[in-house]
Amino acid sequence: GRIANKLGPRVPMTAGMGLVGLGLLMLALIPLNDSLVLIESGLLAIGCGLGLNLGPMSAVAVANVPAARPGTASGLINTARMIGATLGVAVLGAVFAMHVAQSVGTQGLAAAYLGGGIGELIGAAVAFTFIRSDSLRPPAQ
């Protein structure tokens, strides 16, 4: 909250998605180097990224609707987040399952992590491009 209030929501949202993407790319390297440091660093980056991203995302959604509709905005953002997570698990799980069927399971895991990481980095670029730094202030009526 303090970061978003001081720097605007663009910074934590972009950094959060970037960290999740970086963490997933680090986990994609596990078949090449199964270092415990690599695994822990990847998981730490993902956890920090999620923490940075979720609060400002909800705050931006609620701040940019009429005063009578904050519950609707909050419900919509949470529904969209759940749909995105479900679709992400389904698509990346299908990528992994396709490789397991070919008896190359760890390569499938790397491919799934790579796809997720690239998707998160694209999301970070979109957030950086389209989220205004003053998005926490309600729009002028």
pTM to 2 decimal places: 0.80
Residue 141 DSSP SS3: coil
- How many angstroms separate the Cα of 79 from the Cα of each of 2, 19, 86? 25, 23, 11
131 near 9, Cβ under 8 Å? Answer: yes
Identity at 130, one-letter amino acid code? F
Q: What is the pLDDT of residue 36?
A: 82
pLDDT per residue as tens, the chain (141 positions): 778 788 888 888 899 999 999 999 998 888 777 778 888 888 888 888 888 877 888 888 888 888 888 889 889 988 998 998 899 899 988 988 888 877 766 778 888 899 999 999 999 999 899 888 777 776 655
What is the distance between the alpha carbons of residues 76 and 124, in angstroms, rounded to a whole number? 20
113 near 27, Cβ under 8 Å? Answer: yes
What is the per-residue pLDDT across 92-122, written as a single tens digit (0 to 9) for each?
889 888 888 777 667 788 888 999 999 999 9
What is the distance between the alpha carbons of residues 108 and 99, in angstroms, rounded to a whole number? 5
